[in-house]
Amino acid sequence: MAKLYFYYSSMNAGKSTTLLQSDFNYRERGMDTMLWTAAVDDRYGQGRIVSRIGLEAPAHLFDSQTDMLAAISAQHDATSLSCVLVDEAQFLSEAQVWQLGGVCDRLNIPVLCYGIRTDFQGQLFPGSAALLGLADTLSEIKTICECGRKAIMNLRVDGQGRAIRQGDQTEIGGNDRYLALCRRHFVEQMQG
């Protein structure tokens, strides 16, 4: 039986790189995959999964209105899919996570989701919360804080590197806007 996987981490842990490597492994063996990424993330152009180390691939876009089960079912009917891979999974809705569970349960296709667990205030993203509750397998991808400890938090910073404490949950950015920190250094920055 196919499973729903959630690979989570803080920023800059290599989630997109890992996703692209998994996709390569399937394709190298002659298996078809379907890649997805959030329409809201346009840092590298629309419909692209891009890693910081230079790997990239085209991907389908999802937004809050996308019926993941219907779209994947239609593609599976046209080309038998061996795996579905979702980048920026924190931006999925709870309903979409249930739909991805349906891809596993009804279509027997494994779904590998990659995303950030919490936002810049330490709050769960809706997609991440649903995946933490519904995924068959949870795997943390680790990265390190500036002190060498495991980074589990995402600090949003302004142009001068100062912590931003308020704002919308979603603000797209990379190293220019976010730092991956351990909890201790995150709290120090947020209280400082």
Q: What tens digit of pLDDT does each residue of 58-71 get? A: 999 999 999 999 99
User: What is the rounded distance in angstroms from the CA atom of residue 116 to the CA atom of residue 71?
Assistant: 24
User: What is the rounded distance in angstroms from the CA atom of residue 21 to the CA atom of residue 55?
Assistant: 9
User: What is the rounded distance in angstroms from the CA atom of residue 179 to the CA atom of residue 70?
Assistant: 36
Contact present, 127 and 164 (Cβ < 8 Å): no
pTM: 0.91
Label residue 2 by pLDDT band (50, 70, 90): very high
* 17: CB partners within 8 A, 6+ apart: 51, 52, 53, 55
CA 160 centroid distance within chain: 27
Contact present, 114 and 87 (Cβ < 8 Å): yes
Label residue 46 by pLDDT band (50, 70, 90): confident
pLDDT in tens, 100-121: 999 999 999 999 999 999 988 8
CA distances for 63 relative to 26, 68, 132, angstroms: 26, 10, 20
Question: In CATH, what is the architecture of 4-142?
Answer: 3-Layer(aba) Sandwich (3.40)
Contact present, 144 and 167 (Cβ < 8 Å): no
The whole-number pLDDT of residue 106 equals 97
Q: In which residue are the tokens 């061996």 written?
A: 82
Beta bridge partners of 7: 114, 139
Catalytic residue flag (residue 140): no
Kindly name the residue from 88, 146, 171, 188 that is annotated as catalytic: 88
